[in-house]
Amino acid sequence: MDINFFSEDIDYKLKNKTKIRNWIRETINSENKIPGTINIIFTSDDYLLNINNQFLSHNYFTDIVTFNYCENETIIGEIFISKETVLNNSKRFFVSFEDEILRVIIHGVLHLIGYNDHSNEEKKIMREKENEYLDRVKNLL
């Protein structure tokens, strides 16, 4: 099981990779799933807009696009994250960039696990799960 971090179209290196990998594994295990290979790719707005448009037919900027390749209970997928949008959102929500990037990472992992955020009820559950796992990461970092 690998959790890999990459950058495309930008120069960005995530801090505390080992601790974040452990947090992601613990999150997956807590949801009674099996950690598989997850690639987390940090990109520019334009790069992610292209992916959003090409694969989802959405012509708008977003902070994250998740591709779920899970097999049964094994969590496998790719999570593309726009560093620019995360930075802008951190300012908009008055939180640190580091806290916002962690929220977006765990949001993507929760999508891979099977949580959605289409309806208001799903969004509420997703936010509760994000907060639960963000509280846990504070003990690791």
CATH of the domain at 93: 3.40.390.30
Domain range holding 133?
A: 3-137
According to DSSP, the residues that pair with 67 across neighbouring strands are 78
Q: Specify the pLDDT at position 138.
A: 82
pLDDT at position 13: 94
Burial class (CB in 10 A: 0-12, 13-18, 19+), 113: buried
Question: Could you say which residues of the chain have pLDDT below 50?
Answer: none
Residue 1: predicted pLDDT: 73
Residues 18, 2 contacting (CB under 8 angstroms): no
**pLDDT at residue 140, rounded to an integer:** 74
pTM (2 d.p.): 0.95
Q: How far is CA 2 from CA 43, 75, 111, in A?
A: 20, 11, 18
* Element (DSSP H or E) covering residue 64: strand 64-68
Distance, CA of 13 to CA of 58 (rounded, Å): 27
How many domains does the chain contain in total? 1
